[in-house]
Structure 1
């Protein structure tokens, strides 16, 4: 008996759908069916009548290759790509706000000129 074959008659199928032309395929559910055509019909009946769908994929579970445990471990070691994530730039907004607060505005600069005039008047 095959891995995805239940009771020698039914097989497990995975259903993927796409809601719009620009969207990605998403896994929706698994179903049991005697063959590929029946699985497709069952997927249409169970899913397409409830939600708008542009495309539908029905795939026999045993045809999907999954990663082996040793392959998962290898990916974990190679998955050190924090430098690619943009979360490291989150502090820039706060830093920019502090910089802007410390910047001199026009009124403050003009007040320096007035202070200089007052100082000159007192010395004269």
Structure 2
């Protein structure tokens, strides 16, 4: 009975921070606290004293929405769009080498004509 009471008393909070005003937020850790105010104080005490921080977010985990398995299926690619990823351009290095070699061969051939002075 006592463990059940502790579970309902404490809430899980996720802590995010950013080092500078222009840097993105990064997840740091999660903590247990009875409410938002205590969670913020705990986050400041445990995190801000260790490194410089420009801002902190403390978010109750129950307010974070995740994708359901049905929704995750929608993220799968329907068609092949490898050309949008950088790995789709791997063949260009080989083509560029072939092009450069062709150019060098043409230059060499033109140089065989020599100057007729």
Same structural fold, with TM-score higher than 0.5 when normalized by the shorter chain:
yes
| Structure 1 residue 6 displacement after superposition | 5.1
Mapped to 1, the partners of 2:51 and 2:93 lie a distance apart of 40
TM-score (norm 2): 0.77
RMSD value, Cα: 2.6
- Normalising by structure 1, what TM-score? 0.73
Partners of 2:33 and 2:72 in 1: how far apart? 30
Q: Is the 8 A contact 2:17 2:57 kept in 1?
A: yes
Q: CA–CA distance in 1 between the matches of 2:28 and 2:79? A: 27
**How many residues are paired up?**
111
CA change 1:110–1:78 in 2 (3 A) is closer
**Residues 83 and 89, structure 2, Cα contact 8 Å, conserved in 1:** no
Unaligned runs of 5+ in 2: none
- Provide runs of 4+ in structure 1 moved above 6 Å: none
Secondary structure at 2:8's aligned position in 1?
A: coil
Structure 2 equivalent of residue 122 of structure 1: none
Segments of 5+ residues of structure 1 without an aligned counterpart are 118-124
